[in-house]
Amino acid sequence: MALSYEYSIGSVRAREKSLLTHSDTEQLLVCQNEAEIAALLGDKGYGEGDTVEEILSSHTAELWRYLKNTAPDFTIFNPFLIQNDIHNYKVILKGTMTNRNYEALLLSPSTIEIAVMKKAIESRLMNLLPEWLRVNADKAYERLAHSGDARLSDAYVDKAAMLEMLRLCDNSHSVFLENYIKNFVFYCNIKTVIRSARTGANREYLKRALVRYEGFRKDALIAAALKGSDALADELSKLPEYDCRQAMEAYKQSPSVFEQWVDDRLTRLAKESCKRAGEGAEPLLGYYLGSEIEKKVIHIITSGVRTKSGADTIRERLREIYG
């Protein structure tokens, strides 16, 4: 029997109750070591395993199993699965060229079968890949093989992914997904241009890496980035789109505060549009995004505990959660 959104929304609303709460994060902050974090997560039924990474891996596998069995149209998640495609492309390409084992680094699910991705790269048969990726995948292969420029090689496929994500969200009939992906791509661009200004990347890299679309002033920002970080910061502070001015206020405090601001903005977009939605795919998308951000929170806490950072210091780095 075909699944309905009425059924899936009822299911996901019940499932949302298992997402981490602020009380849960406070309990995690009390943990003295990684073993205690793993034990607490295990007690909450978060996932199976003896370590935090094993538990998170188990949780991710169960999340995707649930979504596949619950979503009436699983392709609504393709804008996010494309990121796994690109990760896998990079891993297989670099592993193939360096003759290193990469199997443990591959991510699933993805929109491109891993066996197809392997054959396309190992035999350089990029026509096996979907149209949105094949041309830039070949350029990425060429760049890495002949110049060893991993950064520019990555830029080709990252750009292909962002363009496809934008295309998919335009055709999704979801106002939320379109808004979310456009915000996501905008800040991917911003992070790239900030990093480029700091490291002195050249015009060729910026032209290849940045995606031109409504709300992103590519040419002006490339020109500013080539002048240095101060000129770029001044130009970015003038942008009203996607609350970029507020983002740059956060960046003035520190790059980490900026990263936190971007993550929190995306989470708030999901909470505002998905938690109260009574129809369509939004509740499922919100649950997925909520699950992803809570995994990031667990990683931040685990990293802080591992490095003996104090609870207050870790708390300052935490992201806003969906639950």
Q: What value does the mean pLDDT take over residues 172-178?
A: 92
Q: Which residue has the tokens 């197809």?
A: 116
pLDDT at 77: 97
162-174: per-residue pLDDT in tens? 999 999 998 888 9
Locate the domains of the chain by residue range.
1-72+281-323
pLDDT at 5: 84
pLDDT at 1: 45
Split at pLDDT 50, 70, 90, the class of 2 is low
Q: Which residue has the tokens 């950064």?
A: 151
> Does the pLDDT value for residue 43 go beyond 60?
yes
Q: What value does the mean pLDDT take over residues 109-136?
A: 97
Q: What value does the mean pLDDT take over residues 121-138?
A: 97
Q: Which residue has the tokens 């500013």?
A: 224
pLDDT at 173: 85
> Does the pLDDT value for residue 16 go beyond 50?
yes
Residues 6+ apart with CB under 8 A from 247: 187, 190, 236, 258, 261, 262, 265
Q: What value does the mean pLDDT take over residues 228-253?
A: 93
SS (H, E, C) the chain: CCCCHHHHHHHHHHHHHHCCCHHHHHHHHHCCCHHHHHHHHHHCCCCCCCCHHHHHHHHHHHHHHHHHHHCCCHHHHHHHHHHHHHHHHHHHHHHHHHCCCCHHHCCCCCCCCHHHHHHHHHCCCHHHCCHHHHHHHHHHHHHHHHHCCHHHHHHHHHHHHHHHHHHHHHCCCCHHHHHHHHHHHHHHHHHHHHHHHHHCCCHHHHHHHCCCCCCCCHHHHHHHHHHCHHHHHHHHCCCCHHHHHHHHHHHHHCHHHHHHHHHHHHHHHHHHHHCCCCCCCHHHHHHHHHHHHHHHHHHHHHHHHHCCCCHHHHHHHCCCCCC
Give the count of beta carbons closer than 10 Å to the beta carbon of residue 67.
21
207-216: per-residue pLDDT in tens? 999 998 887 8
Q: How far is CA 243 from the centre of its chain?
A: 19
pTM of the model: 0.93
247-296: per-residue pLDDT in tens? 999 999 999 999 999 999 999 999 999 998 989 999 999 999 999 999 99
Split at pLDDT 50, 70, 90, the class of 89 is very high
Looking at domain 1-72+281-323, its CATH class is mainly alpha
